[in-house]
Structure 1
Amino acid sequence: MRADYRLIPFALTAILFAAPVLSAGPHGNGSGPGTGPGQVTLNPLDTQEASTLLFMREEERLARDVYLGMDDLWQLLPFENIAQSEQKHMDAIKNAMDNYGLEEPSDPNQTGVYTDGSLQQFYLDLMARGETSYLEALHVGALIEEVDIQDLEGAIVETGNQDLQNIYSNPLRGSRNHLRIFVSTIESQGVVYEAQSMDQDAVDAIVDTPMERGGKWR
């Protein structure tokens, strides 16, 4: 039976704030909305929106950490390239965190250690599975991207903040492209890919369409 690995509901209660997060200035110094030429005023985040943004920072880091680990282990495509893309996702979310005056939930330089307990266990499970074979490592990558897609789609639906929706749309596009790459690589090994978290029809709809372009990073 396919498991439902969506992680974001756990994160929404993992990090609590005493009050909604105030808008930061355009340079992320927490000084309040910008008012100068070219500056954008950001709407305050509520507790759930702030928690989700922090969770996404860790989830993108988990993807990067696992892919770097799989690349060190197997030294085969596509792990290194996709890890670089995940770093770009992390950087963009960090920029958003700075704009909203949010602090890091965990040390981004400490590989495989996360504040969110569900992500911590997910990382351990993924690394153990990916160490068993290159094919399993590819399935680990595809699972990460399925979960990312579900969590990012959920984050977009759960907020009315257009800025956050735009922020999440770029890594969502990237995750769909990464899923296409992992599934294509798996099937080049003579294995028919079966969805691990998403519905099979949803996965098929993604992998049967071309790679997507657009956005600042993929």
Structure 2
Amino acid sequence: LAHDVYVTLYDQWGLRVFSNIAASEQKHTDAVAALLDAYGLEDPAIGNGVGEFTDPAFQALYDELVAQGSISAAEALKVGVAIEELDIADLEQRIAETDNADIQLLYSNLLAGSENHLRAFSGGGGQGRQGGGRGARP
């Protein structure tokens, strides 16, 4: 979800922070996919394009966050903060709920990434434009 929101908001506003963090989120997604594969589990995101979710709750959240982030560049940055705060809370809870060392390591790495992303969004960094905004891709 975070990756897709960030790609969409980068396309709209051209803020470098969205491009940089979307690339990082893709690495996180790849790490999760590798663990799913290692455990023989199906990846529910396979075949979905940017902004397409099979879970209606995720689709509604994506739509809501993109709508908020489309109001202004400042609102887009607030969306980034909200996503990372939610990710941090979810990951902390998930780490506490699992005994599996592989999953704990993955979640811990994702948590560190989300903490870095939160700093990037809250620190006012990434305000510079890259590309041209609308229609540009990271």
TM-score band w.r.t. shorter chain: 0.7 to 0.9
Give, in whole Å, the separation in 2 of the partners of 1:111 and 1:105. 14
Query: Which of 114, 120, 123 in structure 2 is aligned with 1:175?
Result: 114
Q: Report the residue type matching 1:179 in the other structure.
A: L
TM-aligned CA deviation for residue 76 of structure 1: 1.6
Structure 2 residue 57 is the aligned partner of structure 1 residue 94 = no
Give, in whole Å, the separation in 1 of the partners of 2:2 and 2:118. 12
Give, in whole Å, the separation in 2 of the partners of 1:150 and 1:69. 23
String of CA shifts for 1:181-205, please: whole Å, max 9, x gaps. 100017x8xxxxxxxxxxxxxxxxx
Structure 2 gaps, min length 5 = 128-138
- In the other structure, the counterpart of 1:158 is 97
TM-aligned CA deviation for residue 73 of structure 1: 0.4
TM-aligned CA deviation for residue 136 of structure 1: 0.1
User: SS of 2:16's equivalent?
Assistant: coil
- In the other structure, the counterpart of 1:146 is 85
Structure 2 residue 43 is the aligned partner of structure 1 residue 104 = yes
Moved more, 111-120 or 139-148: 111-120
User: SS of 1:172's equivalent?
Assistant: helix
- In the other structure, the counterpart of 1:74 is 13
Following superposition of structure 1 onto structure 2, how do residues 1-218 of structure 1 map, counting pairs within 5 Å? Answer: 62-107=1-46, 109-185=48-124
Give, in whole Å, the separation in 1 of the partners of 2:74 and 2:107. 29
Identity %: 52
Q: Report the residue type matching 1:161 in the other structure.
A: N
Higher alpha-carbon Rg: 1
TM-aligned CA deviation for residue 110 of structure 1: 1.2
String of CA shifts for 1:111-154, please: whole Å, max 9, x gaps. 11222232111101000000000000000001000010011111
- In the other structure, the counterpart of 2:134 is none
The number of equivalent residue pairs is 126
Normalising by structure 1, we get a TM-score of 0.55
Normalising by structure 2, we get a TM-score of 0.86
TM-aligned CA deviation for residue 108 of structure 1: 5.0
String of CA shifts for 1:20-63, please: whole Å, max 9, x gaps. xxxxxxxxxxxxxxxxxxxxxxxxxxxxxxxxxxxxxxxxxx11
Structure 1 gaps, min length 5 = 1-61, 189-218
Q: What is the CA RMSD across the aligned residues, in angstroms? A: 1.4
Give, in whole Å, the separation in 2 of the partners of 1:106 and 1:161. 23
